[in-house]
Structure 1
Amino acid sequence: MLEKWFEGALWSSRLFILLPVIFSMIGAIALFVIASVDIYHVASYTIDVYVNHLHPKDFHEKVVGDIIGAVDLYLIAVVMLLFSFGLYELFISNIDAAENSESSKILQIHSLDQLKDKLAKVIVMVLVVSFFKRVLHTTYGSPLELLYFAGAILALALGLYFLHKGGDHR
């Protein structure tokens, strides 16, 4: 009887996973809202510049940098979303609405390895976007710095190639 009670309590303790599921979802929603507000501000700024016939210095760099920053936030929100769905499906229950849906199966997670692979791919994309954003605001003073930049792009391209080559392409 003690064994049955202990096993029931142990099995029920998996419900603590609901905390990271809920708060990851809240974090994802917050990031989606923040990124959307950032895009709205960029659009407002762009309209203001063109309506008033202004052309501030570094206008294009600022707009592109801000948009890339918002894309970065969207990707991080997707990581949080995948994490939330994955934990729920792995520890609590399959999501019936997702199983019966004819839309993308990207949010269906059936193993911890599958969750890690999906998260890793999105995290790599976050790093690529962050790298791109930093590159926009970098000045190069010597040919050696340009060579380092080219090497970083090559390393990034190789990483993306091997990440794509090793995946199941879902």
Structure 2
Amino acid sequence: MNRTSRLERRFEALIWKFRLVTLIPVVMSLLGSISCFVIGTYAEISVLKKVFRGDFTHDNSTLLIGKVVGGIDYYLIGIALLIFGYGIYELVISDIDPRQADESSSRHNLLNIEDLDGLKQKLTKVIIVALIVTAFKVMVSFEVTSITELIQYCAGVLMLAFSSYLIGRTGKH
């Protein structure tokens, strides 16, 4: 009986340590987040260089706006990866102590993830906003040549507005 309980305790300790495997996706998502921030910053800086040099015309201004919006999209994806890594760490490994020690109440809600549903909800919001930004990027360069395209364009704008409305309503039951 005593030998069995000792074996059980060791086995449970081993199972508990297996949660550390989740450090791999945590670290990779944080590194991916940094990569997205760097790529987004590069896109923004490349547009700023062209603007300050005066290398823009009416013809390429749509392209430049698309690059700015694309940079914002990279930032949003980086934020989603950051939220994912942070959330998985807090849910599976441990609470992040510096956040707990911070006295300012404004920071406690920043990435406060209590459960898996909370993580999914925060990620879903960021991903939907990233999709809205991507759709906006496409719509900026969209040229309407027929009534059908105009109706499709308006339907796209309406869907974006509706999805923004739904994001705003989430959590307000």
- For normalisation by structure 1, the TM-score amounts to 0.91
Specify the code of the residue in structure 2 equivalent to 1:86.
G
Q: Which position in structure 2 is the counterpart of 1:78? A: 79
TM alignment of 1:21-36, pairs within 5 A: 21-36=26-41
Q: Counterparts of 1:65 and 1:155 in 2: how far apart (Å)?
A: 20
Q: Unaligned stretches of 5+ in structure 2? A: 1-5
1:20 aligns with 2:19: no
What CA deviation, in whole Å up to 9, does each residue of 1:60-96 have, x standing for no partner? 2122111000000000000000001000000011111
Q: Counterparts of 2:58 and 2:158 in 1: how far apart (Å)?
A: 31
Q: How far 1:167 moved relative to its partner?
A: 2.1
Q: Counterparts of 2:23 and 2:117 in 1: how far apart (Å)?
A: 20
Q: Counterparts of 1:56 and 1:149 in 2: how far apart (Å)?
A: 25
Q: Counterparts of 2:149 and 2:142 in 1: how far apart (Å)?
A: 10
- For normalisation by structure 2, the TM-score amounts to 0.89
TM alignment of 1:156-167, pairs within 5 A: 156-167=160-171
* Number of residues of Structure 1 aligned to a counterpart in Structure 2: 164
Q: Which position in structure 1 is the counterpart of 2:8? A: 3
Q: Counterparts of 2:130 and 2:148 in 1: how far apart (Å)?
A: 27
Name the Cα RMSD after superposition.
1.4
TM alignment of 1:26-105, pairs within 5 A: 26-49=31-54, 55-101=56-102, 102=104, 103-104=106-107, 105=109
Q: Counterparts of 1:165 and 1:106 in 2: how far apart (Å)?
A: 19
Question: Which of the two has higher C-alpha Rg?
Answer: 2
Q: Percent identity?
A: 35
Q: Counterparts of 1:152 and 1:138 in 2: how far apart (Å)?
A: 11
Q: Counterparts of 1:139 and 1:43 in 2: how far apart (Å)?
A: 25
Q: Counterparts of 1:6 and 1:140 in 2: how far apart (Å)?
A: 65
Contact 1:35–1:73 at 8 Å: present in 2 too?
Answer: yes
